Amino acid sequence: MLSKRTSRSKWLSLAGFVVFGASVLWCGDAQAYKPTDPEVQRMINAGLRFLKTADANKGNRNPEGSLMLMAYATFKVEHDASDPLIVSGVEQAQKFAKMSLKGIRERTYANYEMAVAILLLAEVDPAKYASEINQLRDMLLSGQRGHGGFSYYSGQVGDTSQTQYVMLAMWTLQKYGFEVPMQVNKNLVQWLLLTQDPSGGWGYNGRPSNRIGVYIPQDKDMNPSLSMGAGGSLLMAGELFGFWSTGSEDPRLAGLPPAFRNAKQEEERRRRAQLAGVKPEVLLTAIKRLEPWLKNPTRDNHYRDYYKMYTQERYESFLEVAVGNSDPEPKWYNDGVNLLRSKQSPNGAWGIVDARGSNNDEPGVATAFGILFLIRSTKKAIGSLSQGTTRGGYGLPKDTTQVRMEGGQVKGTPVAGAVDGLLGLLEDDSASELDGQSIPDDLKLATDPEERRKQIDRLVRLVRGSQSWQARRVAARLLGQSGELRVVPALIYALSDPDVPVKRFARDGLRFVSRRFDGWGMPDQPTEQEVKEAQQAWRDWYLSLDPGYVFLGEES
């Protein structure tokens, strides 16, 4: 198993070359960018404004799938489940979940639609939409062909483009705690390994060789989009198999008091690696063969540039994990920003005016892909979903309080499961009507790692997006008591909450998580400038532990 401490040297010894990256796909100036830079934020915000207009989903070949993709990109930035675009996207995803398998398979873009529906529902609220997510998962995975790949339901030949989106959905499902049979992962990986061209790239329709390590010529449709999609899928699988760490073995975490790796999770990680049926060297060899192929600029046929950019962002983000080398301002990102800056229309959209015409996505789809690229969507997902957890609060009593509503007050008796009951009340539109004095002070998060993770995800959504000051207060308090490193960005965000008690809970929670009990001096009644200074100090501290984390404007 590769860790962040050893993966770079391991990669070099296994692959025998320096990672080039796919930055050759675009040529730009020397300007270096980060997602938080004002110019990048301006582009993101302009794109979001366009996505919320009636024109965004006009003329799209697949309006249902486009709607969900636009909602997904918007929610990744704004985290507002009440936004009309998000509501519409979620409703569409729920409709797909209710369709019969026969009805789904009659749809041309079914695999893409189900994959994006899973991404959207899991991002918005995996607990609330668990039933729909499970239904979508079962329908999606039922379409796997005998060779391991996925395709249009009218044929049997594997389709690299569709297979990569199924892999992205599978990675998301497993990171949110939804079960995916190991055999599905193994078969998909085998198909990708068997369909790599002798040159190192991948084509549209894969022709499997008879064994791994034997390469036969693929179709003539090989291009960077498909090849990075296939390579990124192999890297995702390697992360799922436990071949490379996504941060929990970082030696810089060793000095923190909480233990940032859970024993149960680590045992599961070892089990997956043993069952993978393939060694990490095999996956890295495939990437080694791909990288020089990508380095040749003649490979780029400029087919669906925006689709390609989101594919590259996924590939590069997982490559960073596999080789243990993260550049905060990589050339491929800088070049992509420059390309998007040059092509963004005055109304904020991409894909409207393009000499290549039909070779590119419609404006709504192109704009969603552009935003996902700019915010480093995959990098953020890897950081938030794969981070090790602490044992903060685990030694406290298991029994807390079961809550219920009686006459506008929260009542309860000492039993386990209190937080889930309270969360249901806080997520209700009338949460601000709750009597704060009746909410028990001794609430504790679940001890089971999976249940605890789900509770924290719900609390993060509340502290970021609830319209109820009461809900935000409780969420900030419980997040701060969790002792979990991964809640730090949400607490930093909460420092600027308009409700003063929320600010205090967030400040005290940050001090508890970091064990810096003096914090950075933010007083009980801070000025706006004091809040900004405290936020920057906490961001700097967090980045010293996780340099690859991307703070967006909403966390700044």
Residue 341's pLDDT is 95
**Interval 154-199: pLDDT, tens:** 888 999 999 999 999 999 998 888 889 989 999 999 999 999 999 9
Radius of gyration of the chain (CA): 23
On whether both 276 and 182 belong to a single domain, the answer is yes
- Mean pLDDT, residues 283-311: 85
- Poorest-pLDDT segment among 230-239, 252-261, 448-457: 252-261
The answer as to whether 4 is a domain residue is no
The answer as to whether 329 is a domain residue is yes
Q: What does the H/E/C string look like for 497-524?
A: CCCHHHHHHHHHHHHHHHCCCCCCCCCC
Contact 32, 329 (CB under 8 A): yes
Residue 244, helix vs strand vs coil: strand
The answer as to whether 506 is a domain residue is yes
Closest CA to 45 of 35, 34, 58: 35
- Write out the two tokens for 556: 């700044």
On whether both 352 and 482 belong to a single domain, the answer is no
Cβ atoms within 10 Å of 510's Cβ, excluding its own: 27
Q: List residues bridging with 410 in a β-sheet.
A: 405
The answer as to whether 151 is a domain residue is yes
On whether both 330 and 444 belong to a single domain, the answer is no
**Interval 129-146: pLDDT, tens:** 999 999 999 999 999 999
Which domain CATH number covers 86?
Answer: 1.50.10.20
The answer as to whether 29 is a domain residue is no
The total number of structural domains in the chain stands at 2
On whether both 471 and 358 belong to a single domain, the answer is no
Residue 51's pLDDT is 96
Which domain CATH number covers 469?
Answer: 1.25.10
Secondary structure tally for the chain: helices H, strands E: 22, 2
Got the DSSP string for 455-477? Answer: HHHHHHHHHHH-S-HHHHHHHHH
- Mean pLDDT, residues 101-111: 94
On whether both 218 and 256 belong to a single domain, the answer is yes
On whether both 353 and 411 belong to a single domain, the answer is no
The answer as to whether 122 is a domain residue is yes
On whether both 330 and 252 belong to a single domain, the answer is yes
Contact 20, 325 (CB under 8 A): no
On whether both 139 and 264 belong to a single domain, the answer is yes
Looking at 386, 410, 440, the residue that finishes a domain is: 386
On whether both 335 and 421 belong to a single domain, the answer is no
Got the DSSP string for 310-338? Answer: HHHHHHHHHHHHHHT---SS-HHHHHHHH
List b or e across 471-494, with b for residues whose CB sees 16 or more CB atoms inside 10 angstroms: bbbbbbbbbbbbbbbbbbbbbbbb
Got the DSSP string for 256-298? Answer: SSS--S-HHHHHHHHHHHHHSSS-HHHHHHHHHHHHHHHH-GG
The answer as to whether 22 is a domain residue is no
The answer as to whether 18 is a domain residue is no
Q: For residues 403 and 549, which has the higher predicted lDDT (pLDDT)?
A: 549
Q: Compute the distance between CA of residue 319 and CA of residue 121 in angstroms, rounded to an integer.
A: 26
On whether both 231 and 302 belong to a single domain, the answer is yes
**Interval 332-386: pLDDT, tens:** 999 999 999 999 999 999 986 554 444 568 899 999 999 999 999 888 788 665 4
Q: List residues bridging with 402 in a β-sheet.
A: 413
Contact 160, 225 (CB under 8 A): no
User: Where do we find the tokens 């050759």?
Assistant: 24
Among left, alpha and beta (phi > 0; psi -120 to 50; other), residue 59 is left
Looking at 386, 414, 442, the residue that finishes a domain is: 386
Show the domain range for 540: 402-551
**Interval 485-506: pLDDT, tens:** 889 999 999 998 888 888 988 9
Q: Cα dist. 7→244, 256, 321, 403, 447 in Å? A: 7, 23, 9, 47, 32
On whether both 193 and 87 belong to a single domain, the answer is yes
Look up residue 201 and give its DSSP letter: -
Looking at 333, 361, 386, the residue that finishes a domain is: 386
On whether both 99 and 200 belong to a single domain, the answer is yes
